Each structure stands twice: as C-alpha cells, then as structure tokens.
C-alpha cells in the first residue's frame, strides 16, 4: 500500500523525488511509525526514504515517465530542475547522478 500511496500522493511528482514527512504518511495511511518504516524496508530498491530529511526517491520514475529521450522542445524537461527539492539528503545527489543525461538536456 505504501508504494501505491507514494506514487500517487499529493506531494508526488513526475521525477519521483519529493519531500514528505513520515507523520503525513502515517496519518494518510492510518499506520504506525513502525509499520511505515517496515514497509519502506520491504520496498527497498523500488522506493528509498531519507527520514532525516523527509525525502522520497523513486529511482525508476523518470525512466517510466520519459520512456525515451524527449525532444529539447518537451516542456517537461524545464520542470525537472524546479521539482528537485532543497535538501541536504544524499538522495538528491543520487537522483542527479542517476539522471545526469536527462538533466543535462534541461539547461
């Protein structure tokens, strides 16, 4: 249930990198902290969560949403840098490294 929630929750976006507090997830899913953290462990590799910075990374989101390299005129490209949250989370650097080719087309 957590995976579906994070793919479709109000804070989610097309790049699969966003901030969401654990307490919000707990309230929305009517689950305890322990249940949510256990669900994140089960989803390891599909979804990553930095609890210190409240950052979610869905590593395959861009691959899914951009199944082929978009043309330079694709307006979605301009949105990518704007969607990267301000944070010191290592997930931000991981996202940028994983998607550097696509991100290079946003400049």
The whole-number pLDDT of residue 67 equals: 67
pLDDT average, residue stretch 69-98: 87
Q: Round to whole Å and give the CA distance between 40 and 106.
A: 31
CB 50 within 8 A of CB 93: no
| 3-class DSSP assignment, residue 2 | helix
The whole-number pLDDT of residue 74 equals: 78
Query: Residue 71 — very low, low, confident or very high, per pLDDT cuts 50/70/90?
Result: confident
Q: Round to whole Å and give the CA distance between 84 and 89.
A: 11
* Percent helix, strand and coil across the chain, each to the nearest 5: 50, 10, 40
Tokens matching residue 57: 């990374």
pLDDT, one tens digit per residue, over 10-52 is 999 999 999 999 999 999 999 999 999 999 999 999 999 999 9
């Amino acid at each position: 249930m957590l995976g579906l929630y994070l793919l479709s929750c109000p804070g989610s976006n097309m790049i699969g990198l966003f901030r969401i507090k654990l307490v919000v997830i707990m309230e929305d899913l009517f689950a305890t902290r322990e249940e949510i953290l256990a669900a994140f462990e089960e989803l390891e590799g599909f979804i990553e969560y930095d609890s210190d910075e409240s950052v979610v990374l869905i590593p395959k989101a861009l691959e899914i949403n951009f199944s082929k390299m978009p043309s330079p005129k694709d307006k979605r490209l301009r949105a990518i840098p704007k969607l990267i949250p301000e944070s010191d989370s290592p997930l931000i650097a991981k996202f940028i490294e994983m998607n550097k080719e696509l991100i290079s087309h946003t400049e």
